[in-house]
A and B are shown apart, each in its own frame.
Chain A
Amino acid sequence: GALVYQYPRRTICKSGTSMRMECQAVGFQATSVAWYRQSPQKTFELIALSTVNSAIKYEQNFTQEKFPISHPNLSFSSMTVLNAYLEDRGLYLCGAREAGGYAEQFFGPGTRLTVL
């Protein structure tokens, strides 16, 4: 079956520091990977959508300079939160899907970021 792993599951970092999180797809080809942030205030926010062999598209209010993403192959993606501050707290979810307009998006369990 299709599975998506994320690690770390939880992380704590000091304000102003950076942390990297990873997303691994198993059992299918992750042609596209979407990174989301889920917080009590704003529920589900799409940060960026990465499609293999295409440019990464960031949503409004999110930038490559703040959330650089790597998607080197059909099974792996990583995202870094640079200079994390309190407003960056939340659960970061990775959603991966195969090619095809109606393909299901498989979610990882998320990386919970706490900023001190």
Chain B
Amino acid sequence: GDSVTQTEGLVTVTEGLPVMLNCTYQTAYSDVAFFWYVQYLNEAPKLLLRSSTDNKRTEHQGFHATLHKSSSSFHLQKSSVQLSDSALYYCALSHTGNYKYVFGAGTRLKVIA
């Protein structure tokens, strides 16, 4: 079945520095979309990025990710993190014909001053 693997646990980054949160996946399907969701403390998860095109960079709110089917990856990056970026980040996939999302275990990003 489908699976999504993320950088485990807590990632701590100093404000102003870059960050990359890893996401790799396994799927037998070719028609698949990939998502990054962000969940701030005491809030619902919200969509951050979405992509289904190989090798195309997707950007939103300063974050960006590029789907690389050759390496089965969809890593999330930001060149300069802010304190307000501290949150839980989830990578997920979904394919047509199936309404189910498959989520990774989540990575907690903590930005320190």
Contact = CB atoms under 8 A, between A and B. Distances in A.
Interface of A: 4, 31-32, 34, 43-44, 46, 49, 51, 57, 93, 95, 97, 100-102, 104-105, 107-110
Contacts of B94: 101-102, 105
B74 to A, nearest CB: 14
Given A95-B101, A108-B44, 15 more contacts: A31-B99, A34-B99, A43-B106, A44-B90, A44-B103, A49-B99, A101-B94, A101-B96, A102-B94, A104-B35, A104-B47, A105-B35, A107-B37, A107-B45, A109-B44
Contacts of B52: 102
A44 B99 contact: no
Contact of B44 (A46, A57, A107): A107
Nearest to B90: A44
Mostly helix, strand, loop or mixed at chain B's interface? loop
Interface of B: 31, 33, 35, 37, 43-47, 50, 52, 90, 94-101, 103, 105-106
A101 B52 CA distance: 11
Given A101-B94, A102-B33, A104-B50, A109 B43 contact: yes
Contacts of A43: 105-106
A93 B44 contact: yes
A32 B44 contact: no
Given A43-B106, A109-B43, A101 B31 contact: yes
A109 to B, nearest CB: 5
A6 B101 CA distance: 20
A36 B16 CA distance: 34
Contacts of A95: 45, 101
A101 B97 contact: yes
B100 A46 contact: yes
Which 8 pairs from chain A and chain B are nearest by CB? Answer: A101-B96, A32-B99, A107-B44, A102-B33, A44-B103, A109-B44, A107-B45, A43-B106
Nearest to B88: A43
